[in-house]
Structure 1
Amino acid sequence: MTAGERPARAAVGHIDAIGGLRALAVLSVVLFHLDAAWLPGGFVGVDVFFVISGFVVAHSVIGARAASFRGYFLWFYRRRFLRILPAIFVYVLAIGILGVLFIPTAEVSRFIEITGAASLFGASNFVLLWKSGDYFAAATEFNTFTHTWSLAVEEQYYLIFPLFSYFLLIRALGPRRGLAVALMWAACIASLACAVVLTARAPAAAFYMLPARFWELGLGFLLRYHDGAAHRAGATLARHRAVESLVAGAAVLALGYAFVATSPRAFPYPGALLPCAATAVLLLLAWQRGDGWAARLLSWRLLTAIGLISYSLYLWHWGVIVLMRWTVGLDTIALKAIAGAAMLLLAILSYRLVERPLRYSGLLNRLPPLRFFAAYGVAGALIGAVVLGAMVAKPRVGLAASNDAAIWSPYVARPGASGCAVRQEAVTVAGGTRVTLTPACPLASEARLFIIGDSHAGAYIRLAATIAAQDRRPVTVMTKGGCKLLPILPDDVTPACTAFDAAAVGALQQAMRPGDTLLVSAYYTPRERDIWGDVPAPARRDAAVEAQLRADAIARLRRWRAAGLAVVLEGPKPTMPTAAFRCADWFNRSSAYCAHGDRVDRATVLRRSAFARAALARIAAAVPGVRLWDPLPGLCAGAVCPAYLDGKPLYFDTDHLSGAGNERLVPLLRRELAATPTPPTPNDSRPAPPAATRPQE
Structure 2
Amino acid sequence: MADKFGSTSKRSSKDYLAFLDGLRAIAILSVVFYHLYGDRLPNGFLGVDVFFVISGFVVSYTVSRRYRGQSAFHFVLEFYARRFTRIMPALLLCLLVSALATFLFVPDAWLSTSISKTASSAFVGLSNIFLARGTDYFSPVTEFNPFTHTWSLGVEEQFYIVFPLLFFPWVTGPRGKRFSALVYGALAIASVAIWFHLLAANPLHAFYMPYARFWQLACGILCFQLVSRIGELTGFERHCNLAATIALIGLLATFALDFGKDSHGLENLAAVVCTTVLIGCLYYLGSDRAPHFAVLEIKPVRFVGWISYSLYLWHWPVFVIARWTIGIETTATKLAALLVAVAFSLGSYFWIETPTRRLRLLRTAPDIAVVALFLAVIAAAFFGFKLMGDNRYEIALSTVMRNRGEWYGTSPDTSPQLPGCVVVTETAEEAQFFTKGGCPGDGHNETLFVLGDSHAGAYIPLLKRFTLETGIRTVVVSTAGCPFLSLNLRRDTEPTCAHATTAGAAYIAKVAKPRDVLFLPSLRLTRLSLQWAAGSDSNTENSEQEREQAVKNAIDQLTHLSKAGLSIVFEGPKPIFRASAFRCSDWFNSMNPSCTNGFDIDRKLIENLRSPILKGYAEISAALPNIHVWDPLPTLCPQVTCSAFRNGHPLFFDGDHVTAYANSLLLENFVSEIESTISKDQAARFGM
* Matches for 1:169-248 after TM superposition, within 5 Å: 169-172=170-173, 174=175, 178=178, 181-227=181-227, 231=231, 236-238=235-237, 240=238, 243-248=239-244
Give me the whole-angstrom Cα distance separating, in 2, the residues matched to 1:13 and 1:620.
Answer: 83
Give me the whole-angstrom Cα distance separating, in 1, the residues matched to 2:36 and 2:82.
Answer: 32
Following superposition, the deviation at residue 569 of structure 1 comes to: 1.6
Task: Give the paired residue count.
Answer: 670
Give me the whole-angstrom Cα distance separating, in 2, the residues matched to 1:617 and 1:252.
Answer: 66
Following superposition, the deviation at residue 677 of structure 1 comes to: 4.9
Q: Find the partner of 1:275 among 271, 277, 298.
A: 271
Moved more, 526-535 or 244-253: 244-253
**Matching residue of 1:462:** 461
Which blocks of at least 5 consecutive residues in structure 2 are unaligned?
A: 1-8
Equivalent pair of 1:285/1:294 in contact (CA under 8 Å): no
Following superposition, the deviation at residue 111 of structure 1 comes to: 3.2
Following superposition, the deviation at residue 67 of structure 1 comes to: 3.2
Equivalent pair of 2:53/2:275 in contact (CA under 8 Å): yes
Give me the whole-angstrom Cα distance separating, in 2, the residues matched to 1:382 and 1:640.
Answer: 53
* Matches for 1:274-673 after TM superposition, within 5 Å: 274-291=270-287, 292-293=290-291, 295-403=293-401, 404-413=403-412, 416=415, 418-419=417-418, 420-426=421-427, 434-440=431-437, 441=439, 442-488=441-487, 489-497=489-497, 500-501=500-501, 503-535=503-535, 539=540, 549-673=550-674
Equivalent pair of 1:422/1:468 in contact (CA under 8 Å): yes
Equivalent pair of 2:600/2:642 in contact (CA under 8 Å): yes
Distance 1:56 1:594, change over 3 A: same
Distance 1:415 1:220, change over 3 A: farther
Equivalent pair of 2:118/2:131 in contact (CA under 8 Å): yes
**Matching residue of 2:159:** 157
Identity %: 33
Q: Secondary structure at the match of 2:261?
A: helix
Give me the whole-angstrom Cα distance separating, in 2, the residues matched to 1:571 and 1:386.
Answer: 47
Give me the whole-angstrom Cα distance separating, in 2, the residues matched to 1:674 and 1:515.
Answer: 11
Which blocks of at least 5 consecutive residues in structure 1 are unaligned?
A: 1-6, 690-697
**Matching residue of 1:260:** 256
Equivalent pair of 2:626/2:681 in contact (CA under 8 Å): no
1:5-25: CA deviation from partner (whole Å, max 9, x where unpaired): xx9969874311011101111
1:509-544: CA deviation from partner (whole Å, max 9, x where unpaired): 343222222212211211222121254886485777
Aligned amino acid, residue 574 of structure 2: K
1:421-462: CA deviation from partner (whole Å, max 9, x where unpaired): 213344566xxxx43323214442342222121111122111
Moved more, 548-557 or 533-542: 533-542
Aligned amino acid, residue 660 of structure 1: Y
**Matching residue of 1:102:** 105
**Matching residue of 2:6:** none
Following superposition, the deviation at residue 640 of structure 1 comes to: 0.7
Following superposition, the deviation at residue 124 of structure 1 comes to: 1.0
Aligned amino acid, residue 289 of structure 1: L
Following superposition, the deviation at residue 232 of structure 1 comes to: 5.9
Q: Secondary structure at the match of 1:624?
A: coil
**Matching residue of 1:695:** none
Moved more, 44-53 or 356-365: 356-365
Q: TM-score, normalised by structure 1?
A: 0.89
Give me the whole-angstrom Cα distance separating, in 1, the residues matched to 2:60 and 2:248.
Answer: 24
Equivalent pair of 1:11/1:287 in contact (CA under 8 Å): no
Give me the whole-angstrom Cα distance separating, in 2, the residues matched to 1:492 and 1:263.
Answer: 33
Give me the whole-angstrom Cα distance separating, in 2, the residues matched to 1:92 and 1:279.
Answer: 30
Q: TM-score, normalised by structure 2?
A: 0.90
**Matching residue of 1:93:** 96
Give me the whole-angstrom Cα distance separating, in 2, the residues matched to 1:688 and 1:217.
Answer: 78
Distance 1:285 1:619, change over 3 A: farther
Following superposition, the deviation at residue 208 of structure 1 comes to: 1.7
Equivalent pair of 1:92/1:117 in contact (CA under 8 Å): no
Moved more, 607-616 or 471-480: 607-616
RMSD of aligned residue pairs (Cα, Å): 2.9
Following superposition, the deviation at residue 113 of structure 1 comes to: 2.7
Give me the whole-angstrom Cα distance separating, in 2, the residues matched to 1:14 and 1:492.
Answer: 63
Distance 1:129 1:413, change over 3 A: farther
Aligned amino acid, residue 101 of structure 1: L
**Matching residue of 2:47:** 45
**Matching residue of 1:4:** none
Give me the whole-angstrom Cα distance separating, in 1, the residues matched to 2:429 and 2:91.
Answer: 34
Equivalent pair of 2:191/2:211 in contact (CA under 8 Å): yes
Q: Secondary structure at the match of 1:457?
A: helix
Following superposition, the deviation at residue 548 of structure 1 comes to: 5.5
Equivalent pair of 2:24/2:51 in contact (CA under 8 Å): yes
Equivalent pair of 2:484/2:501 in contact (CA under 8 Å): yes
Give me the whole-angstrom Cα distance separating, in 2, the residues matched to 1:556 and 1:78.
Answer: 65
Give me the whole-angstrom Cα distance separating, in 2, the residues matched to 1:222 and 1:521.
Answer: 59
Give me the whole-angstrom Cα distance separating, in 1, the residues matched to 2:255 and 2:203.
Answer: 20
